Structure 1
């Protein structure tokens, strides 16, 4: 079946690489997997072998029909649920308020007491998800940032995420202590994306996937990346909204010193005191700070702040 360029489709057919992705996701038999963009189901097949259940979200109607035919047995057994729609439209934790039709699998598990569950909604269908579900996918490059933001910032985030993304993006996320994650890799500077992800969990690099492993062949190499131990511990004493307003302000003008980018929150002298308290140089720029530095700054800058944080 021909890939749709408009959907950013690049299919993986190398069984060895598909197995590496499934293994890297670290799925246990009791896990529920939410798969993004299953395509023809090559990875889906491996995820089904490793998990309790797979819920596959597919935007391409052609692929939805193919998956339903290919995995009719697994669907009847309640091992697989195929939902047509755009993953970016997925609503987590709210559909009980919406007049949606519950799928068979959702109804069947409604009375299950094995694990805590919540409802998700997409395309007027609702389905239940274990609260510790795993998110996996060979995703289109163009939705990478938006999908990370949606999943990590949701009311019910996954316990881990494993994606195939553009190699350069994976290396940007893995940046640590101002050094490149891999030889000849990224410059080592932090970004809004890398800090945003590290605020929620620990990223792990799974290795490069050459462009030739995909059909059609993309212009760049890809890489596997996982975000483990996802939680919101960093936001116990500060709201996510406030943290990200401060983070965005810090990165707003990359050439400026950070202390100047943050002057909307407090007077310069007060910011200098905060920097001293956190052992942060007044000459530093946003890209030089770790996620721990940012959490510290957010906690300090929100104190007695009289401005208006957007809700």
Structure 2
């Protein structure tokens, strides 16, 4: 497929604000399908099909491909290149507002600008998937797999780490996309896992509060957000923090279990706030 020629024919200029760096390397798409181990009974979600390079390879193996694209300018392009396939459902929606059908696998080249919200959306909206293979910015991939104490460890690392196993499969150079991004990309495999699950309903809110100041000591990070703890007096909060023995620790060294301890100390079993914030 002549990518540049196709875009010119339809008068389409990739939009940076939509994170449009279209995959043009068929070999990468083939590897994504292999990494995901697509089977003939799989229903696969693809977020942002772009020019359909990956979509076609998925359709050759899966029972059904559910492709969700926001940019209506791509409609004639995708209708043309995907015309030979009868097992693709195209939805023209913002993925963050999309109500997905049950899907067994997720294979997507994520828009870099909204990669973090998409990961949280996947965890909330598609609890039953068995494997995801995503392409994302390399630095974002490092956050997905980071462990406590590592430079890349973040709010995203904490929440993903309690729900999924994450593994970087390979690094991709900019030239496999058009236009080439300014950074390297990575393929990441995500699989649901069983293991430690946070007990306090305010675990995610506690994580969000702490990682607003991830290089600070826990005590100082908490003092920046006293209003988030239900109007409790600072002395009460500091006394509870002292009992945890975690006040002098740096936020980025905390394990999920330790964050759960802090949530229990500060929130007294309050109902889940659901606040994730936009930062990762």
What are the ranges of 5 or more consecutive residues in structure 2 without an aligned counterpart? 1-6, 230-235, 275-280
Counterpart-to-counterpart distance in 1, 2:182 and 2:85: 35
- Residue matched to 1:146: 117
Counterpart-to-counterpart distance in 1, 2:196 and 2:149: 24
- Residue matched to 1:284: 249
- Asked if the contact 1:250–1:261 (Cα under 8 Å) also holds between the matched residues in 2, the reply is yes
- Residue matched to 2:213: 253
- Residue matched to 1:90: 98
- Residue matched to 2:232: none
Q: Give the C-alpha shift of residue 33 in structure 1.
A: 0.5
Q: CA, structure 1 residues 57+155, in 2 after alignment: closer, same or farther (shift >3 Å)? A: closer
Q: CA, structure 1 residues 304+82, in 2 after alignment: closer, same or farther (shift >3 Å)? A: closer
Q: Give the C-alpha shift of residue 274 in structure 1.
A: 2.1
- Residue matched to 1:125: none
- Asked if the contact 2:44–2:64 (Cα under 8 Å) also holds between the matched residues in 1, the reply is yes
Provide the secondary structure at the position in 1 that maps to 2:60: helix
Provide the secondary structure at the position in 1 that maps to 2:51: coil
- Asked if the contact 1:159–1:231 (Cα under 8 Å) also holds between the matched residues in 2, the reply is no
Equivalent residue in structure 1 for 2:27, among 4, 10, 16: 16
What does the per-residue CA deviation read over 1:114-163, in whole Å, with 9 as the maximum and x for residues that have no partner? xxxxxx3xxxxxxxx23x52222112110111111222133746443322
Provide the secondary structure at the position in 2 that maps to 1:252: helix
- Residue matched to 1:4: 14
Provide the secondary structure at the position in 2 that maps to 1:4: coil
Q: Give the C-alpha shift of residue 270 in structure 1.
A: 2.2
Q: Give the C-alpha shift of residue 254 in structure 1.
A: 3.3
- Residue matched to 2:200: 238
- Residue matched to 2:80: 69
- Residue matched to 2:278: none
Counterpart-to-counterpart distance in 1, 2:215 and 2:161: 23
Q: CA, structure 1 residues 256+163, in 2 after alignment: closer, same or farther (shift >3 Å)? A: same
TM, length-normalised to structure 2:
0.79
Matches within 5 A, 1:27-106: 27-75=38-86, 79-91=87-99
Counterpart-to-counterpart distance in 2, 1:71 and 1:189: 39
TM, length-normalised to structure 1:
0.72
What are the ranges of 5 or more consecutive residues in structure 1 without an aligned counterpart? 92-119, 121-128, 180-187, 276-280
Counterpart-to-counterpart distance in 1, 2:125 and 2:261: 23
Counterpart-to-counterpart distance in 1, 2:176 and 2:157: 26
Q: CA, structure 1 residues 7+270, in 2 after alignment: closer, same or farther (shift >3 Å)? A: closer
User: Number of residue pairs matched?
Assistant: 253
Q: Give the C-alpha shift of residue 197 in structure 1.
A: 1.5
- Residue matched to 2:238: 268
Counterpart-to-counterpart distance in 1, 2:112 and 2:237: 40
What does the per-residue CA deviation read over 1:192-222, in whole Å, with 9 as the maximum and x for residues that have no partner? 1211221221111111100121111111111
Decide which moves more: 293-302 or 207-216: 293-302
Answer yes or no: is 1:293 the counterpart of 2:258: yes
- Residue matched to 1:174: 145
Cα RMSD after superposing both structures: 2.6
Q: CA, structure 1 residues 220+172, in 2 after alignment: closer, same or farther (shift >3 Å)? A: same
Matches within 5 A, 1:188-199: 188-199=151-162
- Asked if the contact 1:36–1:138 (Cα under 8 Å) also holds between the matched residues in 2, the reply is yes
Counterpart-to-counterpart distance in 1, 2:52 and 2:193: 26
Provide the secondary structure at the position in 2 that maps to 1:50: coil
Q: Give the C-alpha shift of residue 232 in structure 1.
A: 9.8
- Asked if the contact 2:244–2:261 (Cα under 8 Å) also holds between the matched residues in 1, the reply is no
